[in-house]
Every structure is written in structure tokens, then in C-alpha cells.
Amino acid sequence: MEITAAQVKELREKTGAGMMECKKALGETNGDIQKAIDYLREQGILKSAKLGSRATSQGAIFSYVHPGDQLGVLVEINCETDFVARTDDFKALGKNIAMQVAASAPQYVSRDQVPQEVLDHEKEVSRAQAKAEGKPEKILDKIVEGRLEKYFQEVCLLDQAYIRDDSRKVSDLVTEAIAKIRENITIKRFVRFKVGE
């Protein structure tokens, strides 16, 4: 059975779980939303989704300097307690996120940080491209929506494919860490330095 984007979206809205977890749960339950919710609960993923509303005022700053000293990254990742900030699992997540920023050069942590004027410009460019390609007027909105989704996957850290496993997004990596550590974790900010830029 093929799982649709609409089904994944519905399950995400009901549970707050990550996109890949929702897709997997729907696949395991033949598209049955209620069974998928139960599946997520059994896997401990729903508990981690509920943790997502808790405040993150502790954390650590992680760094990565690429061999050759021409590229460096600083990333602030927050959690709920200073105890968790010192754990190996949290440090491993920080290291992986810093390497992701170095390799993929995101511009924003998440979609909600993309300024409205940037979104409006991207929509205009996508619409103009689609018109120039001779696409019918009635499907332009769908095309723009699809191209905007690809844009988010390029410039938003949480939407990017994880560099070590492109079947997962960075947001899935964070969700898995939340489920394992049992505390809310947020990526606060990052800065990427490249010599000459």
C-alpha cells in the first residue's frame, strides 16, 4: 500500500512525531492512522513528541573544524538539564549536527526562521519559472508548493537530509535523541565560518 503525503501530514498533526517516523508507522500499519498512533506509542516516539513542549534552558556549544582549517562551525544545542548536556549521547548529537552544518551549509535552523520576504521572493521565482516552462495556470500553486518544499530541504537545517543517512532528516535525528535521552532538545543557533567568505 502506498502511503500518501496527506496521511503522513495527518499523523504528524495528531502526534507531533517526525515525518519519517510517521511514514514508517503508516507503512507498518497499512495506512491505518489509529494503529499508527499505537505503533508510535509502542516505539516510545510519542513520549518524545510530548517532551517537545518542555523548556530547554541548559545545553552546550559544539564545534567542528574541517581538516585544513579553512571551514569551521559552532552550534548551540539546548536541553532541559545540565546533566544531560554532559552525556555522551548529547555530545554525539552535537558533533553530528556540527558536521551537518559544515557539510550542507544551511542558512536557517528551521522553516519558521525563514523571513517572509525571502519566502515571497522564492514563490515569485518558482511561479515565473513554471510559467516559462509552459506549465498550466491551474497547477502553478502545486508546483510552487513543491519547489518551496525543496527550498526548505536545502536551506533549513532540520529539513535537510542527514549527511550520514539520507533516508533520514536532521529533525529525525533530534527526535531519536529526545526519545533516547528522555528530555526535550532544541537546536538554538549555529554559525558557519569559511575562509574567504
What CATH architecture does domain 115-154 belong to?
Answer: Orthogonal Bundle (1.10)
pLDDT greater than 60 at residue 153: yes
Query: Over 70: is that where the pLDDT of 52 sits?
Result: no
Q: For the chain, how many helices (H) and strands (E)?
A: 9, 5
Read off the amino acid at residue 92. A
Backbone dihedral angles phi then psi of residue 138, each to the nearest 5 degrees: -70, -20
Measure CA of the first residue to CA of the last residue in the chain; give whole Å: 48
Give just the sign of the alpha carbon dihedral 57, 59, 61, 62: negative
54 pLDDT higher than 70 = no
Question: What is residue 47's predicted lDDT score, i.e. its pLDDT?
Answer: 52
Q: Assign 53 to helix, strand or coil.
A: coil
Tell me the backbone φ, ψ of residue 74, rounded to 5 degrees. -120, 135
Q: Which of 72, 75, 71, 59 is nearest to 189 (CA)?
A: 75
Strand 185-194 to 71-79 pairing: antiparallel
Lowest mean pLDDT among 17-31, 70-84, 143-157: 17-31
Map out the domains of the chain as residue ranges.
5-51, 58-110+156-194, 115-154
pLDDT reading at 184 higher than 90 = no
pLDDT, tens digit, for every residue of 69-89? 999 999 999 998 889 999 999
The class that CATH gives domain 5-51 is mainly alpha
C-alpha to C-alpha distance for 140 and 77, rounded to whole angstroms:
38
**Secondary-structure class of domain 58-110+156-194 per CATH:** alpha beta
E runs forming strands in 122-184: 161-162, 165-169
Among left, alpha and beta (phi > 0; psi -120 to 50; other), residue 68 is left
